[in-house]
Amino acid sequence: MTADSIDSEARSGWEAVAEEAGTLRARVRELPVATASRPADLRAEVERRFPLEAPMPLPDLVHEAAALLREHAVHVIHPRYFGLFNPSVREAAPLGDALAALYNPQLAVWSHSAAAAELERHVLRRLGAALGREGDVATFTTGGAEANLTAVLAALARGAPGWEQGGVRALAARPAVYVSAEAHHSFVKIVRIIGLGTDALREVQVDGALRMDPVALERRIAEDRAAGWAPLLVVGTLGTTGAGVIDPLPALAEVAARAGAWFHVDAAYGGAAALVARLSAVLDGIRAADSVTWDAHKGLSVPMGAGMIFCSDAEALRRAFAVTTTYMPSAAADEPYAATIQWSRRAIGLKVLFALAETGLAGAGALFERQVRMGDALRERLLARGFRLLNATPLPVVCFTHRELDAGRVSSTDVVGQVVGRGRAWISEVVLNGRQRALRACITSFHTAEADLDVLLEELERALLHPSP
C-alpha cells in the first residue's frame, strides 16, 4: 500500500462515520427506544459480521458495527429515553474524542502531553470556578465511581496516619464512611476495594424528603466513636441516583467538620446545576467540601466516561497517589500521574472541552436547563392526570405512583415492562428509602420535547388500564 492509498482508505472510513453522524439524530427518533436482544443470536451475528479472518475495509467496519449498535441497545440518546443519567450527545464531543484517539496523548506526564494536559486543566479550572471552587486540584476520571474512590483514598491519606505504609490493618481505629441510604452504590464497591469492608459503610437514615438526616448522622458518629470507630468521611449527594434529591450539604459539612471527617459531595449528576443560574441555591455547602465528584457524562451531555474530581487538599492527593520511579519525572513536580489512580490516561477532557466550547458554558447550562423545564412539564402533566409525585427536587428526576398501583391492581414492574416492551419510551422503577416502590422518569436528553412527554403519558395510561394477564 502506498501512503496515498492509506490516506484514501482512512478518509473513506471517516466519511462513513460522517455519514453515520449526519443521519443519526433523525434515525434514532424512528427507532424503538429499546430492543430485546437474545444473547445467543446476537453473539452469532457478531461472529458473522466480524469473522476477523480477512482484512475488512474501513467503511464496512463502520457500517457493520453501526448496524449492530442500532439494532441491539437501549438507545440512551433517544429523546424518549427517560432513564438513568445517560445523556444524549451533540456532535462536538465525539469530534474531540476522535482527536484524542488519533493523537493519543499520554496524560500520565505533562511533558508527554503538554497541550492535552493544559486543555484539560483549562476545562477543570472553568468548571471548578462554576462550582465556586477556584484553586482546587482537579483531574478527569473514568467516571463517578473512580472519582468517589479517589476521594476516599485522599481522605485516608489525610485522616488515617500510617495508612500509606501499613494499610488499613495498621490503623488504631477502624475508619467509618457515612453515606445516606439513598447514596450511590459505588461506595459499597469502594469500601470493599480499599479493604475497609462493607461493615465500615454507614447508611444514615433519610428524612421524609429522602435527604440525609444530619441529626441522625451526628448521632451515628457519636455511637461509632464510643464503639471505637474513627469517622473518616461523610458523603453528601447532590442529585441522588434514585430520586435526584439534594442532601442538606451545609448541615452535613458542619457535622463532618465537628467530627474531623473529610466531607465529600457526590455531584456526579447534579453538578450540572452549576451552569444554571436559577439552580445556584442547590450548590449551597459545596464550597465547604474537601472534594467533589462531577460527571460530564451525565448532566453535561458528554459521552461516557468523563468523570471529574475536584479536591481542595492537594497534599492528601499527593500522599495517596505520588510514587517515585526512575522512568517517570519526579512526582513532586505537579505531574498528572501523581494526583490520580490512573497511570497511562486518555485525554478524557478533550471531548468535554469540545462540548463546552461549541455552545459556550452558558449554552451548556441552557441545554441542562431545558431538561429541567421538561422535568417540570412532566410533573405538571402527571399531576393533571391523577398521578402522585413521590420526590421533590429541582432536577429533572420524577418519581411517581398512581392509585391503580397503590391499590395493587397493576404492578410497577408490569407498567415498566409494558412501556419499555412497546418501544416508544423507556422508564424504570425504583424503591425509595428501601420501602416505597415508584416509577421513575428522568429527562436526560436536550432533544426531549413536550410531544415526547405526551407519548410517555399515553403509554403509562395504557399500561395502567390494561394490566398484563
Ligand X SMILES: Cc1ncc(COP(=O)(O)O)c(C=O)c1O
CB of 418 to ligand X, least distance (A): 25
Q: Is 45 helix (H, G, I), strand (E, B) or coil?
A: helix
Backbone torsion region of residue 344, taken as left when φ is above 0, otherwise alpha when ψ lies between -120 and 50, otherwise beta: beta
- Single residue of 237, 291, 301, 393 touching ligand X by CB under 6 A: 237
Backbone torsion region of residue 88, taken as left when φ is above 0, otherwise alpha when ψ lies between -120 and 50, otherwise beta: beta
Q: What's the rounded Cα separation, in Å, for the pair 162 and 332?
A: 20
Whether 81 contacts 447, CB under 8 Å = no
Q: Count CB-CB contacts under 10 A for residue 2.
A: 7
> What letters, b where the CB count within 10 A reaches 16 and e where it falls short, cover 294-312?
bbbbbbbbbbbbbbbbbbb
Q: Among residues 237 and 401, whose Cβ is nearest to ligand X? A: 237
Q: What share of the chain is helix, strand, coil (3-state, %, to 5)?
A: 50, 15, 35
Cell of 109: 506526564
CB of 235 to ligand X, least distance (A): 9
CB of 321 to ligand X, least distance (A): 19
User: Taking CB under 6 A as the rule, does residue 144 contact ligand X?
Assistant: yes
Instruction: Please give the DSSP secondary-structure letter assigned to residue 109.
Output: S
Q: Near ligand X by CB under 6 A, which window of 4-12, 165-173, 266-274, 402-410? A: 266-274
Q: Among residues 32 and 394, whose Cβ is nearest to ligand X? A: 394
Q: Near ligand X by CB under 6 A, which window of 61-69, 143-151, 279-287, 432-440? A: 143-151
User: Taking CB under 6 A as the rule, does residue 82 contact ligand X?
Assistant: no
User: Taking CB under 6 A as the rule, does residue 242 contact ligand X?
Assistant: no
- Compute and round to an integer the Cα radius of gyration of the chain: 24
- Single residue of 268, 272, 308, 350 touching ligand X by CB under 6 A: 268
CB of 233 to ligand X, least distance (A): 15
User: Taking CB under 6 A as the rule, does residue 186 contact ligand X?
Assistant: yes
Q: Among residues 292 and 410, whose Cβ is nearest to ligand X? A: 292
Q: Among residues 148 and 391, whose Cβ is nearest to ligand X? A: 148
Q: Among residues 107 and 235, whose Cβ is nearest to ligand X? A: 235
Place of cell 453522524: 21
Backbone torsion region of residue 268, taken as left when φ is above 0, otherwise alpha when ψ lies between -120 and 50, otherwise beta: alpha
CB of 187 to ligand X, least distance (A): 9
Q: What's the rounded Cα separation, in Å, for the pair 374 and 79?
A: 11
Q: Among residues 97 and 459, whose Cβ is nearest to ligand X? A: 97
Q: Among residues 424 and 440, whose Cβ is nearest to ligand X? A: 440
CB of 424 to ligand X, least distance (A): 24
**# residues near ligand X by CB under 6 A:** 15
Whether 233 contacts 191, CB under 8 Å = no
User: Taking CB under 6 A as the rule, does residue 295 contact ligand X?
Assistant: yes
Q: What are phi and psi of 351, to 5 degrees?
A: -70, -35
User: Taking CB under 6 A as the rule, does residue 121 contact ligand X?
Assistant: no
Q: List 402's β-bridge partners, or say none.
A: 387
CB of 265 to ligand X, least distance (A): 10
Q: Near ligand X by CB under 6 A, which window of 141-149, 323-331, 334-342, 356-364? A: 141-149
Instruction: Please give the DSSP secondary-structure letter assigned to residue 185.
Output: T
Q: What's the rounded Cα separation, in Å, for the pair 68 and 207?
A: 45
User: Taking CB under 6 A as the rule, does residue 301 contact ligand X?
Assistant: no
Q: Near ligand X by CB under 6 A, which window of 52-60, 144-152, 167-175, 407-415? A: 144-152
Please list every residue from 189 through 218 that binds ligand X, using CB under 6 A.
Answer: none
Q: What's the rounded Cα separation, in Å, for the pair 119 and 104?
A: 14
User: Taking CB under 6 A as the rule, does residue 269 contact ligand X?
Assistant: yes
- Single residue of 80, 90, 133, 184 touching ligand X by CB under 6 A: 184
Q: How many CA atoms lie within 13 A of 435 on its CB side?
A: 4
Tell me the torsion sign for CA atoms 180, 182, 186, 191. Answer: positive
Q: Near ligand X by CB under 6 A, which window of 42-50, 261-269, 397-405, 436-444? A: 261-269
Q: List 140's β-bridge partners, or say none.
A: 308
Q: Near ligand X by CB under 6 A, which window of 98-106, 142-150, 321-329, 349-357? A: 142-150
Interface contacts to ligand X, rule CB under 6 A: 85, 143-145, 148, 184, 186, 237, 241, 266, 268-269, 295, 305, 307
